[in-house]
Amino acid sequence: MNSEALFAQTVKRLRTARHLVVFTGAGISAQSGISTFRDPSTGLWARYDPKELATPAAFAKDPALVWAWYSWRRTLVNEAQPNAAHLAVARLAQCLPLVTIITQNVDDLLERAGSKEVIHLHGDLASARCFQCNRPYLGPLPVGVGEDCDSLEPPRCAHCNGQVRPNVVWFGEGMPEQELDQAFTAARDCDVMLSIGTSGNVYPAARIPTLAAEHGAWLVHINIESIGAASDKTLVGDATQWLPRLVDAFA
Ligand code: APR
Protein backbone atom coordinates (compact mmCIF):
# COMPACT_ATOMS: atom_id res chain seq x y z
CA MET A 1 0.00 0.00 0.00
CA ASN A 2 1.55 3.34 -0.97
CA SER A 3 1.79 6.12 1.58
CA GLU A 4 -1.15 8.13 0.26
CA ALA A 5 -3.43 5.07 0.29
CA LEU A 6 -2.16 4.17 3.78
CA PHE A 7 -2.74 7.75 4.88
CA ALA A 8 -6.35 7.66 3.60
CA GLN A 9 -6.98 4.30 5.29
CA THR A 10 -5.56 5.57 8.56
CA VAL A 11 -7.73 8.68 8.47
CA LYS A 12 -10.75 6.43 7.91
CA ARG A 13 -9.80 4.26 10.88
CA LEU A 14 -9.19 7.29 13.10
CA ARG A 15 -12.65 8.66 12.28
CA THR A 16 -14.30 5.66 13.92
CA ALA A 17 -11.61 4.86 16.51
CA ARG A 18 -12.90 3.97 19.97
CA HIS A 19 -9.41 3.94 21.53
CA LEU A 20 -6.28 5.37 19.95
CA VAL A 21 -2.82 4.71 21.39
CA VAL A 22 -0.01 7.07 20.44
CA PHE A 23 3.36 5.41 21.11
CA THR A 24 6.42 7.64 20.67
CA GLY A 25 10.19 7.39 20.58
CA ALA A 26 13.07 9.81 20.15
CA GLY A 27 12.17 10.54 16.52
CA ILE A 28 9.16 12.65 17.51
CA SER A 29 11.50 15.11 19.27
CA ALA A 30 14.21 15.13 16.58
CA GLN A 31 12.86 18.27 14.87
CA SER A 32 12.95 20.03 18.23
CA GLY A 33 16.71 19.55 18.15
CA ILE A 34 16.78 16.67 20.63
CA SER A 35 19.19 13.96 19.45
CA THR A 36 17.84 10.49 18.84
CA PHE A 37 19.83 7.53 20.12
CA ARG A 38 20.71 5.36 17.15
CA ASP A 39 21.18 7.73 14.25
CA PRO A 40 24.57 6.52 12.95
CA SER A 41 26.12 10.00 12.98
CA THR A 42 24.09 12.27 15.28
CA GLY A 43 22.64 9.68 17.70
CA LEU A 44 23.60 9.94 21.37
CA TRP A 45 24.96 6.39 21.36
CA ALA A 46 27.16 7.27 18.39
CA ARG A 47 28.79 9.97 20.50
CA TYR A 48 28.59 8.63 24.04
CA ASP A 49 29.02 5.20 25.58
CA PRO A 50 25.78 4.19 27.33
CA LYS A 51 27.79 1.85 29.59
CA GLU A 52 29.63 4.91 30.96
CA LEU A 53 26.53 7.06 31.38
CA ALA A 54 23.26 5.13 31.41
CA THR A 55 23.67 2.27 33.89
CA PRO A 56 23.52 2.06 37.72
CA ALA A 57 27.16 0.91 37.71
CA ALA A 58 28.16 4.04 35.75
CA PHE A 59 26.49 6.25 38.35
CA ALA A 60 28.07 4.34 41.24
CA LYS A 61 31.49 4.69 39.58
CA ASP A 62 31.28 8.41 38.72
CA PRO A 63 28.09 10.11 39.94
CA ALA A 64 29.36 13.59 39.06
CA LEU A 65 29.95 12.61 35.40
CA VAL A 66 26.51 10.99 35.03
CA TRP A 67 24.75 13.84 36.86
CA ALA A 68 26.51 16.39 34.61
CA TRP A 69 25.53 14.51 31.42
CA TYR A 70 21.85 14.27 32.36
CA SER A 71 21.90 17.92 33.50
CA TRP A 72 23.21 18.84 30.04
CA ARG A 73 20.42 16.77 28.40
CA ARG A 74 17.86 18.48 30.69
CA THR A 75 19.29 21.84 29.64
CA LEU A 76 18.80 20.94 25.95
CA VAL A 77 15.19 19.91 26.60
CA ASN A 78 14.44 23.07 28.56
CA GLU A 79 15.84 25.17 25.71
CA ALA A 80 13.90 23.20 23.05
CA GLN A 81 10.36 23.87 21.89
CA PRO A 82 7.62 21.34 21.15
CA ASN A 83 7.34 20.78 17.38
CA ALA A 84 4.34 20.32 15.07
CA ALA A 85 4.25 16.59 15.80
CA HIS A 86 3.97 17.14 19.57
CA LEU A 87 1.24 19.73 18.97
CA ALA A 88 -0.65 17.37 16.65
CA VAL A 89 -0.61 14.63 19.30
CA ALA A 90 -2.23 17.03 21.76
CA ARG A 91 -4.93 17.86 19.18
CA LEU A 92 -5.62 14.14 18.61
CA ALA A 93 -6.52 13.76 22.28
CA GLN A 94 -9.17 16.47 21.86
CA CYS A 95 -10.78 14.82 18.84
CA LEU A 96 -11.26 11.22 19.94
CA PRO A 97 -13.17 9.56 22.78
CA LEU A 98 -10.14 7.81 24.29
CA VAL A 99 -6.46 8.48 23.55
CA THR A 100 -3.61 6.90 25.53
CA ILE A 101 -0.23 8.54 25.05
CA ILE A 102 2.83 6.39 25.80
CA THR A 103 6.40 7.59 25.37
CA GLN A 104 9.88 6.13 25.69
CA ASN A 105 11.24 9.68 25.76
CA VAL A 106 12.47 11.41 28.90
CA ASP A 107 11.73 14.91 27.59
CA ASP A 108 8.51 16.77 28.49
CA LEU A 109 7.78 18.15 25.02
CA LEU A 110 4.51 16.22 24.65
CA GLU A 111 3.27 17.76 27.92
CA ARG A 112 4.50 21.22 26.97
CA ALA A 113 2.55 20.83 23.70
CA GLY A 114 -0.61 20.22 25.74
CA SER A 115 -0.84 16.43 26.15
CA LYS A 116 -2.07 15.25 29.53
CA GLU A 117 -1.31 12.05 31.46
CA VAL A 118 1.60 10.96 29.28
CA ILE A 119 2.84 7.50 30.28
CA HIS A 120 6.66 7.68 30.53
CA LEU A 121 8.06 4.15 30.24
CA HIS A 122 11.70 5.25 30.61
CA GLY A 123 11.24 7.96 33.22
CA ASP A 124 11.82 11.68 32.73
CA LEU A 125 14.52 14.34 33.06
CA ALA A 126 12.17 16.64 34.99
CA SER A 127 12.39 14.59 38.19
CA ALA A 128 15.07 12.86 40.29
CA ARG A 129 15.31 10.48 43.21
CA CYS A 130 17.77 9.16 45.77
CA PHE A 131 20.13 6.47 44.44
CA GLN A 132 20.27 4.90 47.91
CA CYS A 133 16.72 5.07 49.34
CA ASN A 134 14.73 5.85 46.14
CA ARG A 135 12.80 8.66 47.78
CA PRO A 136 11.88 11.48 45.35
CA TYR A 137 14.25 14.44 45.37
CA LEU A 138 12.21 17.66 45.65
CA GLY A 139 15.00 20.21 45.38
CA PRO A 140 15.98 22.27 42.31
CA LEU A 141 17.47 20.48 39.28
CA PRO A 142 20.42 22.09 37.51
CA VAL A 143 19.95 23.64 34.07
CA GLY A 144 22.24 25.85 32.03
CA VAL A 145 24.75 22.98 31.93
CA GLY A 146 26.90 22.76 28.78
CA GLU A 147 27.98 19.65 26.85
CA ASP A 148 31.56 20.35 27.98
CA CYS A 149 30.65 19.94 31.65
CA ASP A 150 31.93 16.52 32.70
CA SER A 151 31.61 16.80 36.45
CA LEU A 152 28.75 18.12 38.56
CA GLU A 153 28.26 16.85 42.10
CA PRO A 154 24.70 15.53 42.49
CA PRO A 155 22.65 16.91 45.38
CA ARG A 156 22.09 14.85 48.54
CA CYS A 157 18.87 13.18 49.67
CA ALA A 158 17.20 15.07 52.53
CA HIS A 159 16.22 11.78 54.16
CA CYS A 160 19.35 9.59 54.05
CA ASN A 161 21.99 11.91 52.59
CA GLY A 162 22.38 9.53 49.64
CA GLN A 163 23.30 10.83 46.21
CA VAL A 164 20.48 11.99 43.94
CA ARG A 165 20.19 10.31 40.53
CA PRO A 166 18.16 11.12 37.41
CA ASN A 167 14.68 9.55 37.41
CA VAL A 168 15.29 7.78 34.10
CA VAL A 169 15.37 4.03 33.42
CA TRP A 170 18.96 2.92 32.81
CA PHE A 171 20.11 -0.11 30.88
CA GLY A 172 19.79 -3.15 33.11
CA GLU A 173 16.93 -1.61 35.11
CA GLY A 174 13.28 -2.61 34.91
CA MET A 175 10.64 -0.22 33.66
CA PRO A 176 8.17 1.25 36.18
CA GLU A 177 5.61 -1.51 36.80
CA GLN A 178 2.51 0.68 36.85
CA GLU A 179 3.39 2.49 33.62
CA LEU A 180 4.28 -0.79 31.92
CA ASP A 181 0.98 -2.33 32.96
CA GLN A 182 -0.99 0.72 31.78
CA ALA A 183 0.83 0.67 28.43
CA PHE A 184 0.33 -3.04 27.79
CA THR A 185 -3.34 -2.85 28.78
CA ALA A 186 -3.89 0.06 26.39
CA ALA A 187 -2.03 -1.75 23.59
CA ARG A 188 -4.26 -4.80 23.97
CA ASP A 189 -7.43 -2.65 24.04
CA CYS A 190 -6.86 -0.05 21.34
CA ASP A 191 -8.26 -0.26 17.82
CA VAL A 192 -5.70 2.14 16.30
CA MET A 193 -2.05 2.63 17.25
CA LEU A 194 0.33 5.22 15.84
CA SER A 195 3.94 4.22 16.57
CA ILE A 196 5.91 7.41 15.99
CA GLY A 197 9.68 7.86 15.71
CA THR A 198 10.92 4.70 17.36
CA SER A 199 13.39 2.13 16.05
CA GLY A 200 11.84 -0.65 18.11
CA ASN A 201 15.21 -1.69 19.52
CA VAL A 202 14.56 -1.69 23.24
CA TYR A 203 12.34 -4.23 24.97
CA PRO A 204 9.90 -4.54 26.63
CA ALA A 205 8.75 -1.14 25.26
CA ALA A 206 9.32 -2.36 21.69
CA ARG A 207 6.73 -5.10 22.28
CA ILE A 208 3.92 -2.56 22.51
CA PRO A 209 3.24 -2.08 18.77
CA THR A 210 3.24 -5.81 18.02
CA LEU A 211 0.95 -6.43 21.00
CA ALA A 212 -1.54 -3.93 19.58
CA ALA A 213 -1.40 -5.56 16.13
CA GLU A 214 -1.81 -9.05 17.65
CA HIS A 215 -5.01 -7.79 19.30
CA GLY A 216 -6.43 -6.51 16.04
CA ALA A 217 -5.42 -2.85 16.15
CA TRP A 218 -4.71 -0.90 12.98
CA LEU A 219 -0.98 -0.28 13.58
CA VAL A 220 0.82 2.39 11.59
CA HIS A 221 4.44 3.42 12.08
CA ILE A 222 5.40 7.02 11.31
CA ASN A 223 9.12 7.10 10.64
CA ILE A 224 11.65 8.57 8.25
CA GLU A 225 12.49 5.00 7.26
CA SER A 226 10.46 1.83 6.84
CA ILE A 227 10.33 0.14 10.23
CA GLY A 228 9.12 -3.05 11.90
CA ALA A 229 8.21 -6.33 10.25
CA ALA A 230 7.83 -6.57 6.47
CA SER A 231 4.07 -6.80 6.98
CA ASP A 232 4.04 -3.61 9.05
CA LYS A 233 2.63 -0.39 7.62
CA THR A 234 4.78 2.74 7.69
CA LEU A 235 3.97 6.29 6.69
CA VAL A 236 7.53 7.04 5.62
CA GLY A 237 8.50 10.62 6.34
CA ASP A 238 8.93 13.19 9.05
CA ALA A 239 6.53 13.04 11.99
CA THR A 240 6.16 16.82 11.78
CA GLN A 241 4.75 16.36 8.26
CA TRP A 242 2.49 13.34 8.66
CA LEU A 243 0.93 14.01 12.07
CA PRO A 244 -0.48 17.50 11.39
CA ARG A 245 -1.83 16.19 8.06
CA LEU A 246 -3.53 13.29 9.84
CA VAL A 247 -5.17 15.54 12.40
CA ASP A 248 -6.23 18.13 9.81
CA ALA A 249 -7.77 15.37 7.68
CA PHE A 250 -10.15 14.03 10.26
CA ALA A 251 -10.45 16.64 13.03
N1 APR B 1 10.24 11.75 12.16
C2 APR B 1 9.93 10.44 12.33
N3 APR B 1 10.83 9.50 12.71
C4 APR B 1 12.10 9.93 12.93
C5 APR B 1 12.49 11.28 12.78
C6 APR B 1 11.50 12.21 12.37
N7 APR B 1 11.79 13.51 12.19
N8 APR B 1 13.83 11.37 13.06
C9 APR B 1 14.24 10.12 13.40
N10 APR B 1 13.21 9.25 13.31
C11 APR B 1 13.21 7.83 13.63
C12 APR B 1 14.47 7.08 13.26
O13 APR B 1 14.38 6.58 11.93
C14 APR B 1 14.46 5.93 14.28
O15 APR B 1 13.73 4.81 13.79
O16 APR B 1 13.14 7.75 15.04
C17 APR B 1 13.72 6.52 15.48
C18 APR B 1 14.63 6.80 16.67
O19 APR B 1 15.15 5.56 17.10
P20 APR B 1 16.13 5.53 18.38
O21 APR B 1 17.17 6.57 18.22
O22 APR B 1 16.53 4.09 18.55
O23 APR B 1 15.22 5.99 19.58
P24 APR B 1 14.11 5.14 20.33
O25 APR B 1 13.45 4.16 19.44
O26 APR B 1 13.23 6.12 21.03
O27 APR B 1 14.99 4.36 21.43
C28 APR B 1 14.28 3.62 22.43
O29 APR B 1 16.40 3.24 23.54
O30 APR B 1 18.44 3.99 24.34
C31 APR B 1 17.13 3.71 24.69
O32 APR B 1 16.03 4.70 26.52
C33 APR B 1 16.43 4.94 25.19
O34 APR B 1 14.07 5.45 25.05
C35 APR B 1 15.21 5.07 24.29
C36 APR B 1 15.07 3.68 23.71
At 112, which CATH number?
A: 3.40.50.1220
Q: From atom 21 of ligand 1, which residue's Cα is the shortest distance away?
A: 37
Orientation angle between helical segments 177-189 and 207-214, nearest 10 degrees:
30
Taking the centre of ligand 1 as the mean of its atom positions, its distance from the CA of residue 206, in whole angstroms, is 11
The more confidently predicted of residues 2 and 61 is 61
Mean pLDDT of the chain: 96
> Can you give the pLDDT at residue 228?
79
53 and 10 in a single domain? The answer is no
Find out whether the beta carbon of 75 lies less than 6 Å from any atom of ligand 1: no
Q: Tens digits of per-residue pLDDT, 20-40? A: 999 999 999 999 999 999 999
73: part of which helix (H) or strand (E)? helix 63-79
Find out whether the beta carbon of 63 lies less than 6 Å from any atom of ligand 1: no
21 and 91 in a single domain? The answer is yes
The conformational region for residue 161 under phi > 0 = left, psi -120 to 50 = alpha, else beta, is: left
226 and 181 in a single domain? The answer is yes
Kindly write down the DSSP assignment for every residue of 134-165, as one continuous string.
-PEE-S----S--TT----PPPB-TTT-PBEE
14 and 48 in a single domain? The answer is no
Find out whether the beta carbon of 122 lies less than 6 Å from any atom of ligand 1: yes
CB 35 within 8 A of CB 48: no
Find out whether the beta carbon of 25 lies less than 6 Å from any atom of ligand 1: yes
Find out whether the beta carbon of 238 lies less than 6 Å from any atom of ligand 1: yes
Q: Is the pLDDT of residue 251 over 90?
A: no
Taking the centre of ligand 1 as the mean of its atom positions, its distance from the CA of residue 185, in whole angstroms, is 23
Q: From atom 28 of ligand 1, which residue's Cα is the shortest distance away?
A: 202
22 and 114 in a single domain? The answer is yes
> Can you give the pLDDT at residue 135?
98
Q: Is the pLDDT of residue 184 over 80?
A: yes
Find out whether the beta carbon of 198 lies less than 6 Å from any atom of ligand 1: yes
41 and 29 in a single domain? The answer is no
> Can you give the pLDDT at residue 250?
80
Across 56-60, 109-113, 168-172, 247-251, least confident range? 247-251
> Can you give the pLDDT at residue 50?
93
| Residue 58's CATH number | 3.30.1600.10
Q: Is the pLDDT of residue 117 over 80?
A: yes
Find out whether the beta carbon of 103 lies less than 6 Å from any atom of ligand 1: no
Which of 19, 86, 120, 122 is flagged as catalytic? Answer: 122
100 and 135 in a single domain? The answer is no
Give residue 1's pLDDT band: very low, low, confident or very high (50, 70, 90): confident
43 and 65 in a single domain? The answer is yes
Last residue of a domain, which of 168, 183, 199? Answer: 168
Last residue of a domain, which of 137, 168, 199? Answer: 168
Q: Tell me the chain's radius of gyration from C-alpha atoms.
A: 19
Task: Ligand 1 pocket test: pick from 23, 28, 180, 201 the residue with the most ligand atoms within 8 Å of its Cβ.
Answer: 201
Taking the centre of ligand 1 as the mean of its atom positions, its distance from the CA of residue 105, in whole angstroms, is 9
> Can you give the pLDDT at residue 227?
87
Q: Is the pLDDT of residue 120 over 90?
A: yes
Whether 122 is catalytic is yes
Nearest atom within ligand 1 for CA of residue 26: 26
181 and 154 in a single domain? The answer is no
Last residue of a domain, which of 105, 138, 168? Answer: 168
Mean pLDDT over 157-166 rounds to: 98
Give residue 183's pLDDT band: very low, low, confident or very high (50, 70, 90): very high
Domain count, the chain: 2
Mean pLDDT over 128-134 rounds to: 98
Taking the centre of ligand 1 as the mean of its atom positions, its distance from the CA of residue 197, in whole angstroms, is 5
Range of the domain at 147: 35-79+124-168
Mean pLDDT over 155-159 rounds to: 98
> Can you give the pLDDT at residue 186?
98
143 and 245 in a single domain? The answer is no
244 and 148 in a single domain? The answer is no
74 and 135 in a single domain? The answer is yes
